Structure formats: C-alpha cells, structure tokens
Structure 1
Amino acid sequence: MGGILGDTVRNEEDYFWGRRTSTIDWCEENYAVSDYIAEFWNTLTNFVMMTMAILGICSSIRYGHGKRVTAMYAGLLVVSCGSALFHMTLKYTTQLLDELPMLYTCATALYALIEIDKDIKFGLRLPALLALFQAAVTLIYIFWIQNPAFHQAAFATTTIGTVFYAYKRFVVLDPCTETRRLLIKLRLLADIGMWGGFFLWNIDTIFCEKLRSYRSYVGVPLDAVLQLHGWWHILTAFGSTYNIIAVHIVRLAQHGLDKQFTVHYCMGVFPYVGKVHSTKSD
C-alpha cells in the first residue's frame, strides 16, 4: 500500500532479520526499538485488527452464521498476521503475506454479498471467476509487475465491486428501523476509519522526513504518537471490521434474523455481533 525511501539510518545487516528485501519501506525507523522487530510500532498496532477478527470468528461460529461470514473475519485475521510479519521482518515474502490476503478478503466479502441468500444462485461459476481473477493478479504481481501500484489498482477494483453490492443490498432490503439505523452507523464508522487512516497514511508518506525529525525531538515515549502508519493500522482495522460487520448484519437481515442481533463491544472498544438480549461477559 505505497511506500517511501528505504531507511538508511542503520546498517540492517547487524540486526536479527538482516537486509531488507521488501520492495517498500515505511517511515518508522528500522530496528529503533528492538533488534528483533524491524518496525516495532507498525508491528504492534496490527494486534488491534487481530483482536477484532478473532471476536468476529468466535461470534460467527457461536451463532452459526455460516462459513461465508466466518471466512470474512478469518481473512481479516490473515491480513493482520501477514502485516505484522511484514513489518517485523521487512522481507519480500512477508510483504506478499500482507498485501495479497487483502485481495482475497475483499473478494470473500464480495462473494458473501452477491450470494447473500442461503440457497446458492451461481453455483461454482462465481467463486471460480473470483478465484481466477485473484490468481491472475497474484501471479502477475509475483512474477511480472512487482509494483505496489498494481496491487493497489487490483485491490481498488475488488473494493469498488464490494461497495457497489453493499449499497445495492442496503437499498433493496427493508429491515426494521433499528437495523437500518445500525447499518447507517456502521457505514459511517467504517468510512471514518478507512478515510481517516488513508489521510494519515498519506501524511506519513509525504512528510516522512519531518515526522522523523519531530520524533527525534520529542523522544521516547511521545515519539510513538507520531508513528502515523501505526495509526493507519488502527483506523483501518476499525474501518475494515465495521465494513465486515455491516455485511454480517445485511446477511442477517436478508435471513430475517436482524432483530435478534446487534453490535456489542468487548472491553467497550472492540465491536462484534452478538445477541440483542445476551448477557455481556466482556
């Protein structure tokens, strides 16, 4: 998802993971906190998405909401784990584990929206078509166009399709007033997370040198507040989770189950879908 000039402040050969082989690097100074983690804060902030993904998986399995819903949350978990590994090592192989699962997770959400009914309409044709597109993008990205811009374009294409079908499902559904209000709230929170994160991601990329000088000036621990790529992780973790929860709720509304479920918050922070009248245990 974009990149900056490589970090030349330190000799990476002296640290645990050795020379960077990824095609992109980020604004956080490499190995500044730990000899074993290339980008400490960029790695740590991925645990926010991991937490919400695990909550989503547990919720989907507990209430039997289907493999498609579980797969969306599992995709988030894979993305967050891949991103953590990438920022920890700055290796090309782990970079792929960060970028490619984003495509697959978005494609899974698109499939869940198109095949929203319990009965499958398109059989194997739709998953085969989506899988073929993702496989083609994967092979081209690995063996031919190793440019992050290509990955971004492919991801944007899949995202546009997902947004289109999400809007289509929202319009044609006639859920109860509470559900419609909840979906509007989820979409708003998702947009705030995604666009807010995208804004900080650009600031981090464009003004990297200034941010590094500011971090050097304020010192530890206040420098962590200026790790804007880490804030991008946190905001997009919430944005992505709210997007998937919205798809989750739309599917429940399609099946007439939306009045039985709502969004709860673990520790008052991390959202997940649970029973309306369930007793909170978090």
Structure 2
Amino acid sequence: MGIINADTVRNETAYFWGSRTSTIDWCEENYVVSNYIAEFWNTLTNLTTVILALLGIYSSIRYNHGKRVTAMYAGLLFVSFGSMSFHATLKYTTQLLDELPMLYLCAISLYSLVEIDKDVKFGLKLPAMLAMFQTAITLIYIFWIQHPAFHQAAFGLTALGTIFYAYKRLVQINPCNKTQRALSRAHLLGHIGMWGGFFVWNIDNIFCHQLRSYRSYLGFPFDALLQLHGWWHILTAYGSTNCLLYVHLIRLAWHKQDQLFAVHYYMGMFPYITTAQPKKVD
C-alpha cells in the first residue's frame, strides 16, 4: 500500500532482481546496501513481525489454544514473509504477496471471533462465505482494479466486521479485572502501533525528498533511523500482534481459561501469552 515513488537511479536491470514491476516503490533508495535486496531496511524490519508471529504460534500450540488461534498467528507470519519478498524484489507478484495476506489475516481473526465456541455454529457456511469474499477481492484486485485504494477499502471493510465482533464478545464475557487490564493494554498498544505506524508511513510518503537528503548526510548505518517505512513495519508489527492478543484473550475468557494465562514479554520486548505466574503469599 502507498504511493508510487519513481526511483530512476537505482532501479536498473543491472541489479539482481532487474527492473521494478510493482505498481509501488517506496522512499528507501533501491539497491544501496546490497545488489541482492532492493530495499534492504524495509526487508530487514519485517523480522520483527516474524519473531512476534512465531511466539504466537508457539504459545497457541504449546497450550492447546486451538487451530483458529494458531491460524491467526500463522497468517501474521505469512504477511511478514510476503512483505519481505516484496521489498526485497519490488516485483508485482511479490507485491500481491505483501498486500493480499493482510485481507486473509483479518478474515481469519473475524472467523475466530464469530466461531468462538469449540463446536462450530455455522458449519462450512461461514468459512465458505469468507473465502468467496476474499477470492472475489483477490481476483478483482489482480485482473481489474489494480489500485491500492481498492485493497485498502476491502481491508477496512473486513476490519470493521472484526472490530464489531470483538466489541460484541467483550460485552458478552464480562471479564475479570485482571483480564480487563490485559485487554485494555492490548487495545491501547494495538492503537498506538497501528496509528503510530500510519503516521510515519505518511511522513515517509509526503517528505520523501527531504528524508533522502537527510539520510545521505547521515550515511550508513545511521541513515536507517530515518527509514520511516521500516519503522512502519516495526510499529504495525506490535500493533497487529496486540490486536491478535486481544482476540486471543477474548477467546480464553470465553472458555473461562483467562485466569490461567497472562501476557509476558520475551526479552522485555516481544509480547506473547503464557501461563500466569502464581501470586506470592507472605
């Protein structure tokens, strides 16, 4: 998603992946750090999402929280690999791998909230309907409306459904104070990550020329501090992970298991759900 930046200096056939075929190019100068990676920093910063997704997959499998929860984190991992492929190559095919999995991840989260009980209520009807909608969006985006605004609108529509059901389930579970605090924290951090990422994403688009000038002055590796699309990856990784944690916690509370688990931070930075530590008794 984003604007089309013309990078005529570095986007040459002499480099490993050849000419850019994607409809979008970002503010990071192409093939500056490596001849094999078109946008080095935009590719590298996706590792944040990879780590967070793997922690979520590990947590959901280890504590048997269900295939639907595992599928959410696996979807996030798929998004990160798609984004890495896109920024590394700047090809149209990998651009689709970056953008479309966002839709699928949101649909999986929506399904996890609607089918919150262990026994499915709607059978194959709901996943079939969601699959048909996502397939239609995919085909329209590939063959007809190849514009990021269409993808953004489709994503926003699916996200609204997810937000609606998240609020509905929150009202239904009436969580305890501990779970409510964890949900509030995940909700707040989710918003900070997503809106913070959206802010730097726009700054990167609007002030690209100035940012390139400042980065040229700073030089490698300090210029990475002004690679704002990379910061968008990091911020939205935290934002989207906290959104998934929110859904994860609601499902645990729905099944009366939330007292057994809590959100912890690997290396003090990467959130995931693990067993709650018992309170010390003096």
**Which residue number corresponds to residue 74 of structure 1?**
74
Aligned to 1:102: 102
Deviation of 1:11 (Å): 4.5
Deviations 1:193-217 (A, max 9, x none): 0000000000001111111111112
Q: What is residue 48 of structure 2 aligned with on the other side?
A: 48
Alignment-derived partner of residue 147 in structure 1? 147
| Letter paired with 2:19 | R
> Residue 103 of structure 1 contacts residue 155 of structure 1 at CA under 8 Å; is this kept in 2?
yes
Q: Is the 8 A contact 2:2 2:24 kept in 1?
A: yes
Contact 1:4/1:27, CA 8 A, preserved across alignment = no
Which secondary structure state, in structure 2, belongs to the residue aligned with residue 13 of structure 1? coil
**Is 170-179 or 50-59 further displaced after alignment?**
170-179
Give the Å deviation of 1:2.
1.3
For 2:254, the equivalent position in structure 1 comes to: 254
SS in 1 for 2:220: coil
2:132 — aligned with what?
Answer: 132
Partner of 1:4: 4
Q: Contact 1:4–1:205 at 8 Å: present in 2 too?
A: no
Unaligned runs of 5+ in 2: none
Report the Cα distance in structure 1 between the residues aligned to 2:120 and 2:54, rounded to whole angstroms: 27
Native 8 Å contact 1:72 1:105 kept in 2: yes
Q: Which residue of 1 aligns with 2:268?
A: 268
Report the equivalent of 1:83: 83
Aligned equivalent of 2:223: 223
What is the match of residue 173 of structure 1? 173
TM-score relative to the length of structure 1: 0.97
2:202 alignment counterpart: 202
Correspondence for 1:186: 186
Equivalents in 2 of 1:174, 1:41: separation in Å?
Answer: 43
Q: Which amino acid aligns with 1:182?
A: A
Give runs of ≥4 in structure 1 deviating > 6 Å: none
2:236 matches 1:236:
yes
Structure 1 counterpart of 2:20: 20
Calculate the TM-score normalised by the size of structure 2: 0.97
Aligned-pair identity (%): 70
CA contact (8 A) 2:204 2:229 kept: yes
Confirm or deny: 8 A CA contact 2:4 2:25 kept in the other structure: yes
Task: Encode CA deviations 1:59-81: one digit per residue, 9 max, x unaligned.
Answer: 10111100100000000000000
Distance (Å, rounded) in 2 between the aligned partners of 1:6 and 1:69: 40
Q: In the TM superposition, what is the alpha-carbon distance from 1:10 to its structure 2 partner?
A: 2.2
Q: Secondary structure at the match of 1:271?
A: strand
Q: Which runs of 5+ in 1 are unaligned?
A: none
Q: Structure 1 CA distance, aligned partners of 2:245 and 2:87? A: 27
Match of 2:59 in 1: 59
Query: Are 2:60 and 2:66, in contact at CA under 8 Å, matched by a contact in 1?
Result: yes
Q: How many residue pairs get matched?
A: 278
Measure the CA separation in 1 of the matches of 2:134 and 2:176. 36
Distance of 2:4 and 2:52 partners within structure 1: 29
In 2, Cα distance between equivalents of 1:11 and 1:2? 18
Aligned partner letter, 2:171: V
How far, CA to CA, are the matches of 2:10 and 2:244 in structure 1? 40
Q: What CA distance in whole angstroms lies between the structure 1 residues aligned with 2:44 and 2:81?
A: 11
Q: Distance in 2 between the 1:167 and 1:192 partners?
A: 18
